[in-house]
Structure 1
């Protein structure tokens, strides 16, 4: 039980990679808090606490963390996974869609990370892990705003790593490649296949690929690993 006694918060835990990560931490003995916009989270598992939070809304995030503080008193590991994706050429991208990606993917990561650090500083221990994307490095056509937000998330983590280091809090980013999720289903499969075919390791990611790096970042032994971005599949 790798995470027995740990309090883990996963954003975007209702589906996709967030759901996979929530289930992984539960299986490994953690108490897991799931932030998602909707309260009707159907993950009925012992040790799981869903909280309705819109990570792009500062007041909503503050209320969510107040509930975490009152219920658990602390948080040990935070996974910033919540993200939205609209893949469209820049000239026809609806401004509302672009703003939505900025608010959820970047501003949401900022809000959750800083509130988490406020709780973590009391125990002088914490792990903040961001779920990034290969898009930040590959810069695919149609993903201008999404790729920009994911690149910014890694930079955000690197600066926060310096700010939080005296508190024994690390901040790192995992850049994942395509994995079978609802988000992937929004994209033309032929275009995704073409991107994957161009990778040094041309295959789709598996859940275990993601767990492997997340477990490394979250480990007690990784206290000297911070401000790092690890891309899957040979992306650099």
Structure 2
């Protein structure tokens, strides 16, 4: 029960990697707050508090954190997982789809990290962990905006790591490879298989691969680790 007594916030917690992470922290004793754009009607887990928050909307984020303040008074660990993916070649990418990724992936990560840090500074302890992607390094065709947003959140974490260091708040990024989720299901499997085949460790990621690095970043013992990006699968 390594997270007993901790308050953990996971964005995009309704499904996919976010749901896996929320359940992981719950299983390890944490109180977990899940942000998702839609009501999480299926979430009946003990210790889990779902909140309808659109991370790309500043007013929605402000309301969500006001609820967190009132109900919990603090937050210890934040996982910035919420993201939007539209994979299309640049010349046919609709501007609206591009803006949707920018709002959710970059602005959302910024807003949640900023509001979380305001709570963390009271206890002088915090862990902010961004869920990045191999796309930021591999730069696959069709993912110009998505890859750019995932590269941007690593830079965002690195700058915030400097700003928040005096408050004992660390900021790091985990670049995951392909894992079987609804988001991945939007993409042609043969193309994903081809990308995976080119990795030094040519297999899909598992939940345990993700938990391993998240637990490292979130650990009490990782207070001297900040502004770092760890990619799975040998991506560099």
Once residues 177 and 97 of structure 2 are traced to their aligned partners in structure 1, the CA distance between those partners, rounded to angstroms, is 22
Match of residue 187 from structure 1: 187
**Contact 1:38/1:52 (CA < 8 Å) preserved in 2?**
yes
Query: Is the aligned partner of 1:73 residue 2:73?
Result: yes
Deviations 1:104-151 (A, max 9, x none): 000000000000000000000000000000000000000000000000
**Contact 1:14/1:41 (CA < 8 Å) preserved in 2?**
no
Structure 1 residues 95-114: aligned runs within 5 Å:
95-114=95-114
Structure 1 residues 106-125: aligned runs within 5 Å:
106-125=106-125
Deviations 1:91-114 (A, max 9, x none): 000110000000000000000000
Once residues 232 and 42 of structure 1 are traced to their aligned partners in structure 2, the CA distance between those partners, rounded to angstroms, is 30
Residues 9 and 194 (structure 1), Cα distance of their counterparts in 2 relative to 1, 3 Å cut: same
- Which segments of structure 1 move beyond 2 Å, counting only runs of 4 or more? none
Match of residue 11 from structure 2: 11
Q: Which runs of 5+ in 2 are unaligned?
A: none
- Larger deviation, residues 8-17 vs 42-51: 42-51
DSSP 3-state at the match of 2:203: coil
Deviations 1:35-77 (A, max 9, x none): 0001134121100000000000000000000000000000000
Deviations 1:178-220 (A, max 9, x none): 0000000000000000000000000000000000000000000
Once residues 34 and 112 of structure 1 are traced to their aligned partners in structure 2, the CA distance between those partners, rounded to angstroms, is 12
Once residues 148 and 42 of structure 1 are traced to their aligned partners in structure 2, the CA distance between those partners, rounded to angstroms, is 33
Match of residue 35 from structure 1: 35
Once residues 185 and 150 of structure 1 are traced to their aligned partners in structure 2, the CA distance between those partners, rounded to angstroms, is 19
Once residues 199 and 142 of structure 2 are traced to their aligned partners in structure 1, the CA distance between those partners, rounded to angstroms, is 18
Match of residue 44 from structure 1: 44
Match of residue 209 from structure 2: 209
Let me know the Cα RMSD of the aligned residues.
0.4
Count of residues paired in the alignment: 236
DSSP 3-state at the match of 2:154: helix
Query: Is the aligned partner of 1:85 residue 2:85?
Result: yes
Once residues 75 and 151 of structure 2 are traced to their aligned partners in structure 1, the CA distance between those partners, rounded to angstroms, is 26
Match of residue 223 from structure 2: 223
**Contact 1:11/1:81 (CA < 8 Å) preserved in 2?**
yes
